[in-house]
Amino acid sequence: MNDIVRCPNCGQANRLPSDPGKKAVCGKCKTPLTGGGHPIELTDANFAETIRSGAFLVDFWAAWCGPCRMIAPVIEEMAASRTDVRFAKLNVDQNPRSAQAYRAMSIPLLVLFKDGVEKGRVVGAVPRTQIEAAIRQYLG
């Protein structure tokens, strides 16, 4: 893995380590770039640039959505423990352009991306095992 990713905290471009066991941190502000952290907050302004490089699972959600609140802790746990996939969240009410572009008609919606290209989706508050299976299937 030799991807370049922007730090969600300061915006600095960073090269991810080729050793998947090595923890990736921002060279400028030391914020964790993968695993050990929280999902990146996406907006209409940063969506395309953020997911452009590497493997991502993006959670399309809304504050009023009960199933979204049910799945949120699972996404948080996975973001803290996995280093092979980066996790991000997009509030569909605050970011309607991205929600519309990815046809987020039912939420929660988990969309899996590899180098900016959509590879698969999971709709609904599903168990962690189903999310893990989708990551294996679509992001290998």
Residue 5 lies in a domain: no
| Structural domain that includes position 101 | 35-139
Q: Is 21 exposed, middle or buried (0-12, 13-18, 19+ CB in 10 A)?
A: exposed
Residue 24 lies in a domain: no
Confidence of residue 3 (pLDDT cuts 50, 70, 90): low
Residue 15 lies in a domain: no
The Cα-based distances of 119 to 66, 69, 87, 139 in angstroms read 26, 24, 15, 7
Give catalytic status of residue 29 as yes or no.
Answer: no
pLDDT, average across residues 88-111 = 96
> Considering its fold, how many domains does the chain have in total?
1
Residue 52 lies in a domain: yes
Catalytic residue among 7, 26, 29, 68: 68
More confident residue, 87 or 31: 87
Write the DSSP symbol of residue 79: H
- Looking up residue 105, the CATH number of its domain turns out to be 3.40.30.10
- The pLDDT tens digits for 19-58 are 655 677 889 998 777 655 689 899 999 999 999 988 999 9
Residue 127 lies in a domain: yes
Catalytic residue among 7, 10, 29, 65: 65
pTM listed for this prediction: 0.78
- The pLDDT tens digits for 110-124 are 999 999 999 999 999
Residue 16 lies in a domain: no
Residue 86 lies in a domain: yes
Give catalytic status of residue 10 as yes or no.
Answer: no
Residue 12 lies in a domain: no
